[in-house]
Amino acid sequence: MTRRECVSNPNGVEANRFNGLITAFIGSGVMAEAMIGGLLSKEIMRPAQIIAADPLQDRCEVLKARFGIQATTHNREAVRAADILILSVKPQVLDRVLVDIGELGSLPKLVISIIAGATIAQISEGLGNPNVVRSMPNTPARIGQGITVWTATESVPEARREQARAILASFGQEVFVEDEHYLDMATALSGTGPAYVFLFMEALIDAGVHLGFPRRIAEQLVIQTMRGSVEYAAQSHEHPAALRNQVTSPGGTSAEAIYHLEKGGLRTVLSRAVWAAYQRSVALGAGKKVAHEPRVTRNPDVLEGDR
């Protein structure tokens, strides 16, 4: 695996890679908007080089007003104009989208997918296009702090790979992997990762409120603690266990708290959650329906009749 950080290079080499090229986004949700914002803020593309397709006219108007790009409610209209195609629809509608645009015959020379679970084979066969890049970004891309794991078919030439790299690096870091099976792993770890972090933050904030802090102060304490801890870990290059030991004095408050977290099975629960997300990603790619476990409460204070 290799990692390259996003580098802003206005009007330079990265921008030159896209001279005269049009990029179409099929699906214009949160991640597509983050990508569009990154491409424009880094001046890798100009607004006139981007066209977005969304079924909602109101959404199209929002995108046009916010970014000055072209937008349409018709997928085929966007694809016909494009040299690069970015698929960013929900997994549940992908097959229908592939049939719709695949019937056009002549398609863009590079297809980039950010769809969870969607395999290269599924996209390549659906479009009749072997030049496919499969990627998995995450939501911090909205502030230019995302990380995207990606791979490409062997038929994608080096020049197209560099275009894909530039696009994916415009909103954070990118990690290229040779084997596609890493993408389902990335979906479970980094793609879904922000959800784990936000849930932990929410629980920690609620614990602070339970102690007696006003929610505003609890939020400030937790957010800055997490921000500082993450930055400290990134700069120190030490193992998280070593960093944890630095703040865990024998018989102290941290040791007591860690004991209860471990006793409660935090590691096991988290590991199971990541594994379940991985299995879900694999199942989405295989077109399988996954039976979900029933949601049950573990709170002994909740009576059976109140569930």
Other beta carbons within 10 Å of 103:
10
Domain end position, chosen among 151, 176, 201: 176
Q: Is 138 assigned to a binding site? A: no
250 in the same domain as 198: yes
pLDDT at site 289: 59
230 in the same domain as 141: no
The rounded distance, in Å, linking the Cα atoms of 126 and 158 is 23
253 in the same domain as 111: no
237 in the same domain as 105: no
From first to last of its 307 residues, what are the pLDDT tens digits of the chain? 443 333 344 445 677 889 889 999 999 999 999 999 999 999 999 999 999 999 999 999 999 999 999 999 999 999 998 999 999 999 889 999 999 998 887 788 899 999 998 999 999 999 988 899 999 999 999 999 999 999 999 999 999 999 999 999 999 999 999 999 999 999 999 999 999 999 999 999 999 999 999 999 999 999 999 999 999 999 999 999 999 999 999 999 999 999 999 999 999 999 999 999 999 999 987 766 555 564 444 444 434 444 3
Cβ neighbours for 230, distance < 8 A, ≥ 6 positions apart: none
Helix (H, G, I), strand (E, B) or coil at 229: helix
Q: Which domain holds residue 245?
A: 190-284
Q: Is 29 assigned to a binding site? A: yes
- Predicted TM-score (pTM) of the model is 0.84
251 in the same domain as 198: yes
Q: Is 27 assigned to a binding site? A: yes
Express the helix, strand and coil content of the chain in percent, nearest 5 each.
Answer: 55, 15, 35
Per the CB < 8 A criterion, the answer to whether 4 and 107 are in contact is: no
165 in the same domain as 16: yes
- 56 exposure class (CB count in 10 Å sphere: 0-12, 13-18, 19+): exposed
Inside any domain, residue 293: no
pLDDT at site 105: 76
What total of structural domains would you count in the chain?
2
Q: Which pairing describes strands 23-26 and 2-4: parallel, antiparallel, or unpaired?
A: unpaired
Q: What is the CA radius of gyration of the chain?
A: 22
Q: Is 8 assigned to a binding site? A: no
Per the CB < 8 A criterion, the answer to whether 50 and 83 are in contact is: no
Domain end position, chosen among 176, 210, 235: 176
109 in the same domain as 41: yes
pLDDT at site 300: 43
Q: Is 31 assigned to a binding site? A: yes
The CATH code of the domain that includes 66 is 3.40.50.720
- DSSP character at residue 136: E
204 in the same domain as 143: no
pLDDT at site 292: 56
271 in the same domain as 194: yes
